[in-house]
Amino acid sequence: MLGGGNAENQFGLGWAAEYFADLLAPDKAVKAPLRIYCPHAPHPKQSAFLALDVKEALFGGAAGGGKSDALLMAALQHVDVPNYAALLLRRTYPDLIKPGALMDRADQWLRPTAARWSEKRRAWIFPSGAIIAFGHLDHENHKYEYQSSEFQFVGFDELTQFTETQYRYLFSRLRRLKGSRVPIRMRAATNPGGVGHEWVKMRFALWEDDTEKRNDLLAAHGRAFVRSMLEDNPSLDREEYEESLAELDPVTRAQLRGGDWSAAAAGNKFKREWFEIVDAVPAACRWVRFWDLAATDPKPGTDPDYTAGCLMGMLSGVFYIKDMRRTRSSPSGVEQLIKQTAELDGRAVAIRMEQEPGSSGVNTIDHYRRTILPGFDFNGLKSTGSKEVRANPLSSAAEAKNVKLLRGAWIPAFLDEAEMFPHGAHDDMEDAASGAHLCLTSGPRTSVQRLSV
């Protein structure tokens, strides 16, 4: 929350010098920027975040925990140092400029001070020459707009709205001059949920409920997580915000009010315990590799679909998933993967592909038959009904414990996706598996031969 009143009240009252005595930096000069540019004292959780001496850290949990303030404070910590540069990011430009967001908040904090705003650079410039710039990464490739930039601080607000590749690329922009005392820092703030929920959860060990174990895991990678809840932010009207959060659906409320990273809208088609993991599959199965093509271009705030290919066999009414491939790539990259996979599977394995409606679907199948997979047993399969309807036969087989998975690195992602289907962010592997199951159980038009592989 922002401080109220005029500039004198904001910057002259409520500050005790000893409040900063325990902050990380040993010299007063490093502590001074917060006293000058921040209109209120950090709350205890914010102070813990500011004092971290690790390269990478995440702040957050429940909504209303003071995340954006903490991120802006962290960026301000070294603005008294000449040539210091910080970058604060939101996924889209509208997210960046909306009321109460980072740019608006920074304007309220810094307008009464000696810092000046540069519209051209979209940055605040401080008397020392230091800058805090603001940016957005609407599309995946927007990360390359920072290719020649140099920052000592990069902060992501609402990290789960970004892709993992965007986040990791910005590490390449973190550097400093030899002998500089300014630490290199990657900082982020977020709630659970969003398109990047899973990768953020994994990167910061948020699946681990034991705080001590999580901290040990993070410390091994030079990372830290500070959990902040609504109760940790005394600046917010908690009672009023509680009423707003009460209107949310149970899953979103658990994520935003409880900061629960395990809360998810589980689907009703598959349960992970239905799938037995085996170390071998019968060679005499009838085999098919079914491909579900995805042509989703990256869009602001989205997580593109995958092209997925399921290798499934059937013997005596039992289905074996031997392998699952998936990729997010250009059309030529997808074609290369499908061709390479076909060569690895061998010409004895039938290949089927979902055929989209209309002439474009016919042309795609013809292109693959003539150009990509000549000499293979390949055909298209027109899909009918919704994804959920097409998944029903596979779901029934799985519930009867008649779907086995050959042990492999692909299994955790497959089970995560299956358990969330049809409510998850992605359903590409389930679509591919459902298609393979249909091919193995249908009539002559889609059937495949008995093969030995």
Q: What is the mean pLDDT of residues 147-151?
A: 90
Q: What is the rounded distance in angstroms from the CA atom of residue 432 to the CA atom of residue 428? A: 6
Return the exposure string of 186-196: e unless at least 16 CB atoms fall within 10 Å of the residue's CB, then b: bbbbbbbbbbb
Please indicate, yes or no, whether the overall pTM of this predicted structure exceeds 0.75. Answer: no
70 and 50 Cβ atoms separated by less than 8 Å: yes
> What CA–CA distance (Å, rounded) separates 5 from 28?
27
Q: Which of 166-170, 222-226, 291-295 has the lowest mean pLDDT?
A: 291-295
- Residue 103 in this model has a pLDDT that exceeds 80: yes
- pLDDT score for 296: 54
Q: Which of 189, 179, 156, 148 is nearest to 59 (CA)?
A: 189
Asked whether 253 and 245 are in contact (CB, 8 A), the reply is: yes
Q: How buried is 452 (Cβ within 10 angstroms: 0-12 exposed, 13-18 middle, 19+ buried)?
A: exposed
Q: Please give the Cα distance from 169 to 182 (Å, whole number).
A: 21
Domain ranges of the chain: 7-256, 272-441
Handedness of CA 160, 164, 169, 174 (dihedral sign): positive
What's the CA gap between 166 and 143, in Å, rounded? Answer: 6
Q: Considering only the top CATH level, what class is 7-256? A: alpha beta
Task: State the average pLDDT over residues 273-285.
Answer: 94
Q: Which residues contact 391 (CB under 8 A, 6 or more apart)?
A: 269, 421, 422, 430, 431, 434
State whether the Cα torsion 269-274-277-283 is positive or negative.
negative
Identity of residue 415: L
Q: What percent of the chain has pLDDT over 70?
A: 79
CA distance 418 to 264: 13
Q: What pLDDT is attached to residue 373?
A: 96
User: In this predicted structure, what is the pLDDT of residue 344?
Assistant: 95
> pLDDT exceeding 90 applies to what percent of the chain?
50
- Write the class of the CATH domain 272-441: alpha beta
Contact, 401 vs 276, CB < 8 A?
A: yes
Look at 115-119, 211-215, 366-370 and tell me which has the smallest mean pLDDT: 211-215
More confident residue, 236 or 74: 74
- Compute the distance between CA of residue 14 and CA of residue 68 in angstroms, rounded to an integer: 21
- Per-residue pLDDT, 252: 67
What is the model's pLDDT at position 402? 96
pLDDT band at 398 (very low <50, low <70, confident <90, very high): very high
| Res 393: pLDDT | 92
